[in-house]
Chains A and B, each alone.
Chain A
Amino acid sequence: MKCRVCGSKAAIKLREHNLSLCEEHFLAWMRRRVASTIGKYRMFGRGSKVLVAVSGGKDSLALWDLLSGLGYSTLGLHVDLGIGEYSALSRRKTEAFAASRGLELLVIDVRALHGESVPERARRGSRSVCSLCGLTKRYYMNRVACEKGMDVVATGHNLDDLTSALLSNLFRWDLEHLAKGLPYLPPSGERVKARAKPLALCTERQNAAYCLLSGIDYVEEECPYSEGATFLELKGVMRMAEEISPGTKLRFYTGYVQNAHLFGRPFDEEKELCDLCGMPTYVGRCAFCRAWRG
């Protein structure tokens, strides 16, 4: 198999694009892909300050590497959730990556701030570990972006994440979440920052290949709490559809983006401010403070 650009030995075939590329031209293709996704969905501009949510996995480290390589001004945010050795390894790899690239990283240590880890707190509350983890990460991404004067929060969600979530939301006709699956959500008022997913049109296979070819040492292990999760099964369903007809995931997601307005506005205005932390909420106390502070 030959690289379509230079004719040398191919390293990867992108079946959905019917395109084979060598290592060098695949890395260049990824840079163009992310730059064009940012432009296509008007995510942010050259002067924007981008808070990059970094878990230490392949997607977020690839994203940070790509954004900084494209010349964007970035600040990394890692939330240490206290999930045993998994979180310790994730933090070490994130810190090592930031140091190796000379990038600025901020770490939120949940246990240090709240006296207990996400699993410990979940055991004493009504939320599952996964629900509390998601809530905690989203809260700190937005809060840190506000406090640091960032313009937008960028996350490493990939095409596989977004299509499996879309499928799940369609199965349940969850209109609220169907309205929110867009690659870019604009800011709402002063305290809800814009959210962008620059890897929305990249598959997780492409992101992993990007890391391996760029020498990025990422966490290959999975979170122990994700084992047997429904969305992993749905990723398998999407993978089967993709194998039958290459390009299915891309057509499914880009078609959704064109038609997402049918599901209503992306989110309601959160008009009140939390009486404890001052961040936006629908009523009285925000979900984060209810979960962590009672």
Chain B
Amino acid sequence: MKLEVLYRGKTYRFDERMSALKLVRLMGLSWEEVLVLREGRILTEDEMVNPGDSIRVVAVVSGG
């Protein structure tokens, strides 16, 4: 089972258990530019995400 991450309409898959902060950095993003959600709940940076989880990463930077 994979850790599935939906971000800007694309799905990314990971094998390992890691912190939400590590996941965001692995995706080349900064913690301050996104929110990480699991089942509609916002995760703090120290919370662990696991294979089998469905995660949504929401960009918070807006245009004009």
Contacts and interface: CB of A to CB of B under 8 A. Distances in A.
Q: Do A and B come from one complex?
A: yes
Interface of A: 1, 10-13, 20, 23, 57-59, 130, 133-134, 160, 203-205, 207-209, 212-213, 220, 222-223, 225-226, 229, 231-232, 235, 239-240, 242-243
Contacts of B64: 130, 133-134, 223, 226, 229, 231
Contact of A229 (B40, B58, B63): B63
B45 to A, nearest CB: 7
Contacts of A203: 32
26 contacts: A1-B44, A1-B46, A10-B44, A12-B42, A13-B45, A20-B44, A58-B60, A58-B62, A59-B62, A130-B64, A133-B64, A160-B61, A204-B61, A204-B62, A205-B32, A205-B33, A208-B58, A212-B58, A220-B58, A222-B62, A222-B63, A223-B63, A229-B63, A229-B64, A243-B31, A243-B32
A23 B19 CA distance: 20
Interface string B35-64: 101001110111100000000001111111
Contacts of A57: 62
Contacts of A240: 30
Contacts of B44: 1, 10-13, 20
Say whether chain B's binding surface is mostly helix, strand, loop, or mixed.
loop
Say whether chain A's binding surface is mostly helix, strand, loop, or mixed.
helix
Nearest to B31: A243
B63 A226 contact: yes
B30 A239 contact: yes
Contacts of A23: 42
